[in-house]
């Protein structure tokens, strides 16, 4: 079964940050976004609103992705 929703353009960078962090996807989501299911939802096609995009961009900048 495939998901018809397109992934957010930030998704590949989030995936790279997840790999660099050496955290589980659950811990990564909880630590950085207060949502243990953040990565799972993103992979399922969750879109992001402007405040979350800003938070993600700041985190990615801090991590160097």
Instruction: Give the chain's domain count.
Output: 1
Looking up tokens 């953040």, which residue turns up? 38
Note the pLDDT tens digit of each residue in 11-53.
Answer: 999 999 999 999 999 999 999 999 999 999 999 988 889 999 9
What residues contact 48, with CB distance under 8 A and at least 6 apart? 8, 10, 56
Residue 4, in any domain of the structure: no
Neighbouring residues of 47: CB distance < 8 A, sequence distance ≥ 6: 5, 8
Assigned domain for 58 exists: yes
Q: Which structural domain range is residue 38 located in?
A: 21-63
DSSP letter (8 states) at residue 5: S
Between CA 5 and CA 47 the distance in angstroms is 9
Query: pLDDT band for position 57 (50/70/90)?
Result: very high
Predicted local distance difference test score (pLDDT) of residue 8: 80
Q: Could you tell me the pLDDT band of residue 6, with boundaries at 50, 70 and 90?
A: low
55 in a domain, yes or no?
yes
| Predicted local confidence at residue 36, as pLDDT | 97
pLDDT of 5 reads: 55
pLDDT of residue 3: 46
How many whole angstroms from its chain centre is CA 3?
17
């Amino acid at each position: 079964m495939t998901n018809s929703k397109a992934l957010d353009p930030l998704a590949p960078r989030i995936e790279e940050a997840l790999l660099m962090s050496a955290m589980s996807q659950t811990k990564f989501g909880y630590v950085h976004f207060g949502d243990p299911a953040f990565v799972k939802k993103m992979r399922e096609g969750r879109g992001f609103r402007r405040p979350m995009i800003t938070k993600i961009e700041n985190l990615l900048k801090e991590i160097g992705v």
